[in-house]
């Protein structure tokens, strides 16, 4: 297959899904919606759908992709701080499970669109819990200064107002504190924040049917070979121990990265080895347009030379794009690299292919399964 391309290990994906299902089966009334923004490749969506997970979407086109892949609309949650009217309309037409509403202004538009269709929109309030996830600042979402969610001080008024609105059925509370979180303490903190909010909301007479705690569980980018499957058990245990669910209340999760990150690798060919005094570059045919995480977040991805058993040497692995941030890794020890070798950039299954762009008018990366490659 022409490089660069994403190669997905569907066997590992299945093992990951099996572990997830095994952990969650201990908790009746708990549901996982796969965050399709992490990876919307049909190769990935099929096993995810077969495993019975719902879907978390943030755009009309994600809803379209989910429906096309055969997901049931009754398992679709629709989040996003800026839903366009056409996106709200299509979600209503398809009777999705729930809108995660981020502001009073959005609530009014959803009401208006629902009344036009003669429907009632099930909604959850996306609350900004003001919890620090201690992750990269670009992927922190639950702090009061972020654009996401309804400010805690405004929540009671909005909830009270929604209860009087026709076309709106307030049903849940939604939270998301950030991504790539490996320390369980921020999740525990989120739980105690939710417990407080539930107490406070009692004044309004609103009891949520469901609580949605978003996603965010991280993966081991440093050592994917030894830790291919994330620690779902500790993650779910944290909620089980710290969250005081009301009787009959269901709990929803929106996990993306933890399900798909480790099953994907970006395969790229070395075009040139450039030797400067004191530094050598392995110049690959993949660039930041294929995998933007290192350039955008300074993210670490392990890189291995699949074709060489030569003496390890130090390389800067860089792409061909005309941007100095187009670097996959600096000072990486790789088995001696020659022109034509293929490198695997590991743990690239989440936020890799979906974030690819055509900058420099480059081709989008292809994809295949490890089994077919």
Instruction: Name, in order, each residue with C-beta under 8 angstroms of 318's C-beta and a sequence gap of 6 or more.
Output: 281, 282, 283, 284, 326, 327, 328
41 near 21, Cβ under 8 Å?
no
DSSP at 181: B
Find the binder of ligand LLP among 7, 180, 238, 262 (CB under 6 A): 180
Per CB under 6 A, contacts with ligand LLP among 115-154 are 139, 141
Task: State which residue, 258 or 284, has the beta carbon closest to ligand LLP.
Answer: 258
Q: How far apart are CA 125 and CA 149, in angstroms?
A: 8
Task: State which residue, 67 or 139, has the beta carbon closest to ligand LLP.
Answer: 139
Give me the least distance between CB of 74 and ligand LLP, in Å please. 19
**Number of residues this chain uses to bind ligand LLP (CB under 6 A):** 21
Query: Beta strand 76-78 with 98-101: parallel, antiparallel or unpaired?
Result: parallel
Find the binder of ligand LLP among 47, 129, 186, 256 (CB under 6 A): 256
3-class secondary structure, 373: coil
Q: How far apart are CA 320 and CA 326, in angstroms?
A: 7
255: alpha, beta or left, given left = phi > 0 and alpha = psi -120 to 50? beta
Q: How far apart are CA 127 and CA 143, in angstroms?
A: 10
Instruction: Kindly state whether residue 210 participates in binding ligand LLP, applying the rule CB under 6 A.
Output: no
* Token pair in block for residue 329: 């890794």
* Token pair in block for residue 172: 């849940």
Instruction: Kindly state whether residue 40 participates in binding ligand LLP, applying the rule CB under 6 A.
Output: no
Rg (CA), the chain: 22
Instruction: Kindly state whether residue 187 participates in binding ligand LLP, applying the rule CB under 6 A.
Output: no
Give me the least distance between CB of 139 and ligand LLP, in Å please. 5
- Residue nearest ligand LLP by beta-carbon distance: 215
Task: State which residue, 52 or 298, has the beta carbon closest to ligand LLP.
Answer: 298
Q: How far apart are CA 15 and CA 26, in angstroms?
A: 18
Instruction: Kindly state whether residue 179 participates in binding ligand LLP, applying the rule CB under 6 A.
Output: yes
Binding track, positions 61-100, relative to ligand LLP; x by CB under 6 A: ------------------x---------------------
182-187 — which CB contacts under 8 Å span 24+ positions? 182/218, 182/220, 183/134, 184/234, 184/235, 184/238, 186/131, 186/132, 186/133, 186/134, 187/213, 187/216, 187/235, 187/238, 187/239, 187/242
Find the binder of ligand LLP among 31, 122, 176, 332 (CB under 6 A): 176
Binding track, positions 280-309, relative to ligand LLP; x by CB under 6 A: -------------x---x------------
Find the binder of ligand LLP among 12, 20, 32, 35 (CB under 6 A): 35
Find the binder of ligand LLP among 214, 287, 319, 329 (CB under 6 A): 214
Q: Which region among 107-115, 202-210, 211-219, 232-240 touches ligand LLP (by CB under 6 A)?
A: 211-219
Task: State which residue, 20 or 159, has the beta carbon closest to ligand LLP.
Answer: 20
Task: State which residue, 186 or 256, has the beta carbon closest to ligand LLP.
Answer: 256
Give me the least distance between CB of 97 and ligand LLP, in Å please. 14
- Report the residue count for the chain: 373
Per CB under 6 A, contacts with ligand LLP among 318-347 are none
Q: Which residues of this chain interact with ligand LLP, rule CB under 6 A?
A: 35, 38, 56, 79, 139, 141, 176, 179-180, 214-217, 254-258, 293, 297, 351
């Amino acid at each position: 297959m022409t490089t660069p391309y994403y190669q997905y290990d569907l066997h590992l994906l299945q093992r990951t899904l099996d572990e997830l299902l095994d952990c969650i089966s201990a908790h009746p009334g708990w549901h996982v919606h796969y965050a399709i923004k992490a990876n919307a490749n049909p190769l990935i969506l099929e096993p995810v759908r077969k495993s019975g997970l719902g879907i978390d979407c943030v755009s009309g086109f994600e809803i379209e992709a989910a429906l096309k892949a055969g997901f049931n609309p009754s398992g679709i949650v629709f989040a996003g701080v800026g839903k366009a009217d056409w996106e709200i309309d299509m979600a209503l037409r398809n009777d999705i499970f729930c809108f995660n509403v981020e502001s009073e202004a959005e609530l009014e538009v959803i009401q208006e669109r629902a009344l036009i269709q003669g429907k009632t929109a099930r909604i959850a309030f996306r609350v900004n819990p003001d919890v620090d996830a201690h992750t990269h600042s670009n992927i922190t979402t639950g702090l009061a200064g972020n654009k996401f969610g309804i400010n805690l001080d405004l929540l009671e008024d909005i909830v009270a107002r929604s209860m009087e609105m026709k076309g709106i059925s307030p049903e849940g509370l939604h939270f998301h504190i950030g991504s790539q979180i490996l320390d369980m303490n921020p999740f525990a903190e989120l739980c105690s924040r939710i417990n407080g909010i539930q107490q406070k909301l009692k004044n309004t007479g609103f009891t949520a049917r469901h609580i949605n705690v978003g996603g965010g569980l991280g993966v081991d980018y440093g050592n994917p070979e030894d830790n291919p499957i994330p620690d779902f058990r500790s993650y779910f245990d944290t909620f089980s121990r710290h969250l005081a669910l009301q009787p009959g209340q269901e709990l929803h999760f929106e996990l993306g990265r933890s399900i798909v990150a480790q099953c994907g690798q970006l395969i790229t060919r070395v075009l040139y080895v450039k030797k400067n005094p004191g530094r050598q570059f392995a110049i690959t045919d993949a660039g930041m347009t294929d995998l933007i995480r290192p350039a955008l977040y300074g993210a670490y991805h392990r890189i291995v030379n699949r074709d060489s058993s030569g003496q390890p040497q130090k390389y800067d692995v860089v792409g061909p794009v005309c941007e100095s941030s187009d670097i996959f890794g600096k000072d990486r020890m790789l088995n001696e690299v020659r022109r034509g070798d293929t490198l695997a950039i590991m743990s690239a299954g989440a936020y890799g292919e979906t974030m690819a762009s055509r900058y420099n008018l480059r081709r989008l990366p292809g994809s295949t399964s490890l089994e077919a490659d």
